[in-house]
């Protein structure tokens, strides 16, 4: 600390431009994935932002992205977080370049950058999260279990304060990325373009015929036609539950509606559990994509 070293403490107050620089660094790193997965760190970074935030419990105000407690054991070892060390290690490189940013701000901002750079909607975002302690972590079991049904999905997301429409919109993020046998036990991507944010997840849910995959792994669906795509039991529920189906169908039919609703729900997710007085801006910001900055 400043006292111990005798050095003067210079307080750096970052501006919106400084956060845009962090965004840009993340945006460039997404494509430095090489042979990793589909050549992008984008999907696993979106998953980090989601799992950092989705521990929120509205009733007690605990959990959420504020303290970035997934840095610590045992939360980093919770089964749901298997594989997210990949994203946290990428984030560490960014943190070294911008030591002033909190981990919660970094991880959520990186999630925003990943969505936007993968051609998704703009996600309003603002800084203000602070680093917490291991003792701020929430117990295991707050994130959804893919093998369960609509009641479980509702229990988990209602606990965070989401409604059915927001639940369906959020799960559309499964347009991105894939399941890994060594992480969740499930296997495969949901769409043919897993590094581009689209409404393909919903389209495929309704357009393809889904059958149980015959294999030794956990119960999952595969598309009958090619056998290369997958759906989790909780994904398929969106076509079976009457109220979920209404929204899923609407998103399959209208990409703009999905983008609008996803943006609002994801922005809300990233702010869960962050006391409003901690935010440095009264309204969330729109950060620019790399493309938009090419003038």
Strands 221-223 and 230-231: antiparallel
Closest contact distance (angstroms) between CB of 103 and ligand ZEM is 18
Q: Of the two residues 120 and 127, which places its CB atom closer to ligand ZEM in the complex?
A: 120
Take residue 156 and report the two structure tokens written for it.
Answer: 């988990």
Closest contact distance (angstroms) between CB of 249 and ligand ZEM is 18
User: How far is the C-alpha of 203 from the C-alpha of 158, rounded, in Å?
Assistant: 25
Q: Of the two residues 18 and 57, which places its CB atom closer to ligand ZEM in the complex?
A: 57
User: How far is the C-alpha of 18 from the C-alpha of 7, rounded, in Å?
Assistant: 24
Catalytic residue selected from 50, 107, 190, 210: 190
Q: Of the two residues 105 and 235, which places its CB atom closer to ligand ZEM in the complex?
A: 235
Catalytic residue selected from 51, 78, 174, 210: 51
Strands 221-223 and 210-212: antiparallel
Does residue 51 have an active-site annotation?
yes
Q: Strand, helix or coil at 111? A: helix
Closest contact distance (angstroms) between CB of 88 and ligand ZEM is 13
Residues forming a β-bridge with 179: 188
Closest contact distance (angstroms) between CB of 102 and ligand ZEM is 21
Task: List Cβ neighbours of 142 (8 Å cut-off, separation of 6 or more).
Answer: 54, 55, 56, 57, 63, 156, 159
List of residues contacting ligand ZEM (CB under 6 A):
43-44, 46-47, 50, 83, 144, 146, 153, 170-171, 173-174, 176-180, 183-184, 186, 232, 234, 266
Give the residue at shortest CB distance from ligand ZEM. Answer: 177
CB 22 within 8 A of CB 127: no
Closest contact distance (angstroms) between CB of 120 and ligand ZEM is 10
Does residue 78 have an active-site annotation?
no
Choose among 190, 203, 253, 147: nearest CA to 38.
190
Output the CA torsion 195→48→95→112 (10° steps).
Answer: 60
User: Catalytic residue positions?
Assistant: 51, 190
């Amino acid at each position: 600390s400043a006292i111990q070293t005798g050095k003067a403490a210079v307080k750096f107050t970052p501006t919106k431009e400084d956060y845009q620089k962090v965004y840009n660094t993340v945006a460039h790193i997404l494509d430095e994935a090489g042979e990793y997965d589909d050549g992008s760190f984008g999907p696993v970074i979106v998953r980090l932002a989601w799992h950092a935030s989705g521990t929120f419990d509205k009733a007690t105000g605990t959990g959420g992205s504020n303290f970035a407690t997934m840095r610590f054991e045992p939360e980093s070892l919770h089964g749901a977080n298997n594989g997210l060390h990949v994203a946290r290690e990428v984030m560490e490189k960014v943190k070294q370049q911008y030591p002033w940013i909190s981990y919660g701000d970094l991880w959520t901002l990186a999630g925003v950058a990943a969505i936007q750079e993968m051609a998704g909607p703009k996600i309003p975002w603002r800084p203000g999260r602070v680093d917490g302690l291991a003792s701020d972590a929430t117990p295991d079991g707050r994130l959804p279990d893919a093998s369960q049904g609509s009641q479980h999905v509702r229990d988990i997301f209602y606990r965070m304060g989401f409604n059915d429409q927001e639940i369906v919109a959020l799960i559309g993020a499964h347009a991105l990325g894939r399941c890994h046998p060594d992480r969740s036990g499930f296997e495969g991507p949901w769409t043919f373009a897993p590094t581009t944010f689209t409404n393909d997840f919903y389209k495929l849910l309704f357009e393809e015929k889904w059958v149980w995959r015959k294999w030794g792994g956990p119960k999952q669906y595969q598309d009958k036609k090619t056998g290369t795509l997958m759906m989790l039991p909780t994904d398929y529920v969106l076509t079976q539950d009457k109220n979920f189906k209404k929204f899923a169908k609407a998103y399959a039919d209208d990409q703009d509606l999905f983008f609008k609703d996803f943006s609002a729900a994801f922005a809300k997710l990233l702010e869960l559990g962050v006391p409003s007085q901690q935010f440095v801006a009264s309204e969330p910001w729109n950060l620019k994509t790399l493309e938009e900055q090419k003038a």
